[in-house]
Structure 1
């Protein structure tokens, strides 16, 4: 009898041990993700984001820094133009910085709490944790998740596939539309959890002037300093400043998307001290205008009453004045501004569709 009891105990222990060595259930995986989200103090990530919503794929280098409780630095670099924009959050507020144009805006905002971003690790974690209909597929080296897309600024994105390694580090994300076409893809090159930062890593001034002693090229130049530089360096900086555009030429873009029932009525070119400005008026139920001009330096001396919005390929500034929305952003060296009473979703769709061949003015 004792022998039989002993054998049963051994068999039961073996079964428990083998069960413990088996694959984790989806519930256990989600529990692990929840714990990691709560305990993670900081991280750094680097990757490449490809956007397929235009006439040709657009590629951007993305670097994200995060430090609890609410410090963020997101750097988006257009690989074709080598132009960088920085989305920054610190104790002073939320900043949208375009260093090479000397443009900076400051907001009183809780970004990114109310707007998920495909390149933010916590957005990916939350999309998995919050979706009760999620699908989890484990493989030998990674986990694949299929969940709903939760990006309020772009309602055309409906689902996403997320790949993580066995330590729950992100590897790749694909965001799809309702036709299951991949509209956005982020390929993570590196991810470092619980990392450290310099004391002023999230300081606005440091991010405007560059890191490691390398200044970011700006519109304004010190003539005396230019005299001390050789001709080759001077030419290089002039090319960076002008963004490879001759004189006061202006690249004018035509949106691929216009709301149904609207059409462009006329286009007017106005000469300004900073060069030409092109104004296109669209007629419909709620008329709107699109203005395109040379960028002008703007300093974040006081917070603006608006919010940063993610346009995929850049970050825009959305304000409301006198019952109209003002959405401004910079694309390939041209500053664009939409003004009208269109619903926010349609206004963003128009802005997001600015891709393709530009006409020089």
Structure 2
């Protein structure tokens, strides 16, 4: 009887060890496949949760080793499209609706955690010596710390691989166990053929503007925004520029004006960019600039954090 019991214990231990070894093998294979690939293509839907609301984006990512990246994202409600590009000339954001590109003095995309950049997902996994590897009936799950440059409450990521195929199916950025950003992967292919034209600024802009066509510009009757910090509001307006100042414990100013040819032809270099609800925001010292419905908005403050400026930007409504 003792021999049977001992045999059962040994067998259980062996099976458990095999499962752990198998999970580690799957993890190693996944990491190596990205680190050794010549290129990859990813398509999926990204959901960003904010309070009781969420925004959804279609994401299309192309990578070519060693350091070429193109990320096209489209807001699924407004259909607004932007392209994030890193090529041999630098880092750019392309805004086809404005027929304009912006250049950045940035080390994007490896300067911070980005859920849609698999290279960075892998780097965060490998950097965390306390990463966790687990499994459910459907998935292998790899969990690690992340370093999100805006939302510091996003403290970990979970990477899901389908157990039937060992293919990437989902990535989530989480506050504890609460999912805040979710990327549901529809397509993920390694070593796809891609040419230098995929990363040509001129070629991409031609393709994107052709997709937009001659659509009508939305006319604005009223611009409003929340006052999340309950501050005194002072508004000054002339024929071209409106300045709204919020004064109190947290001082900031919103400056906005209708877009003109002179604004669009002005060459500017920004520090970084951030994802807003339906556009991209461009950051420089103590300011956040973004474009919405044929208007340029600029939030200026020495007291707001970048996350707070993003909150203000997302509250601005055009009717």
| TM-score, length of structure 2 as denominator length | 0.82
Q: Which residue of 1 aligns with 2:271?
A: 306
Query: What is the rounded CA distance, in whole Å, between the counterparts of 1:271 and 1:34 in structure 2?
Result: 57
Query: What is the rounded CA distance, in whole Å, between the counterparts of 2:96 and 2:139 in structure 1?
Result: 38
1:1-59 CA distance string (max 9 Å, x none): xxxxxxxxxxxxxx9xx98x943535444433442232011111111111111552111
Q: Which sections of structure 1, spanning at least 5 residues, go unmatched?
A: 1-14, 219-236
Question: Which residue of 245, 248, 252 corresponds with 1:288?
Answer: 252
Give the length in aligned residue pairs. 304
Alignment of 1:40-51 (within 5 A): 40-51=37-48
Alignment of 1:30-179 (within 5 A): 30-53=27-50, 56-139=53-136, 141-166=138-163, 168-178=166-176
Shift of 1:67: 0.6
Larger-gyration structure (1/2): 1
Query: What is the rounded CA distance, in whole Å, between the counterparts of 1:165 and 1:300 in structure 2?
Result: 48
Shift of 1:117: 0.7
Question: Which residue of 309, 328, 335 corresponds with 2:289?
Answer: 328
Query: What is the rounded CA distance, in whole Å, between the counterparts of 1:151 and 1:279 in structure 2?
Result: 31
Indicate the larger mover: 347-356 or 117-126. 347-356
Query: Is residue 217 of structure 1 aligned with residue 212 of structure 2?
Result: yes
Query: Is residue 279 of structure 1 aligned with residue 276 of structure 2?
Result: no
Contact 1:100–1:216 at 8 Å: present in 2 too? no
1:148-191 CA distance string (max 9 Å, x none): 2321222121223221235653211222225x432211111111
Query: What is the rounded CA distance, in whole Å, between the counterparts of 2:28 and 2:196 in structure 1?
Result: 33
Q: Which residue of 2 aligns with 1:342?
A: 303
Shift of 1:210: 1.0
Question: Which residue of 225, 233, 242 corresponds with 1:254?
Answer: 225
Shift of 1:127: 2.4
Shift of 1:137: 1.7
Query: What is the rounded CA distance, in whole Å, between the counterparts of 1:186 and 1:280 in structure 2?
Result: 36
Contact 1:103–1:296 at 8 Å: present in 2 too? no
Q: Which residue of 1 aligns with 2:284?
A: 319
1:46-82 CA distance string (max 9 Å, x none): 1111111155211111111111111111111011111
Query: What is the rounded CA distance, in whole Å, between the counterparts of 1:318 and 1:89 in structure 2?
Result: 18
Q: Which residue of 2 aligns with 1:227?
A: none
Contact 2:113–2:146 at 8 Å: present in 1 too? no
**Relative to 1, partners in 2 of residues 1:40 and 1:168: Cα closer, same or farther, differing over 3 Å?**
farther
Q: Which sections of structure 2, spanning at least 5 residues, go unmatched?
A: 1-10
Query: What is the rounded CA distance, in whole Å, between the counterparts of 2:236 and 2:267 in structure 1?
Result: 32
DSSP-derived class of the 2:195 partner = coil
DSSP-derived class of the 2:235 partner = strand
Query: What is the rounded CA distance, in whole Å, between the counterparts of 2:158 and 2:312 in structure 1?
Result: 24
Structure with greater contact order relative to length (CA < 8 Å, sep ≥ 6): 1
Q: Which residue of 2 aligns with 1:224?
A: none
Alignment of 1:20-35 (within 5 A): 22-25=18-21, 26-35=23-32
**Relative to 1, partners in 2 of residues 1:359 and 1:140: Cα closer, same or farther, differing over 3 Å?**
closer
**Relative to 1, partners in 2 of residues 1:28 and 1:310: Cα closer, same or farther, differing over 3 Å?**
same
Query: What is the rounded CA distance, in whole Å, between the counterparts of 1:281 and 1:301 in structure 2?
Result: 25
Query: What is the rounded CA distance, in whole Å, between the counterparts of 1:113 and 1:143 in structure 2?
Result: 25
Query: Is residue 181 of structure 1 aligned with residue 152 of structure 2?
Result: no
Q: Which residue of 2 aligns with 1:223?
A: none
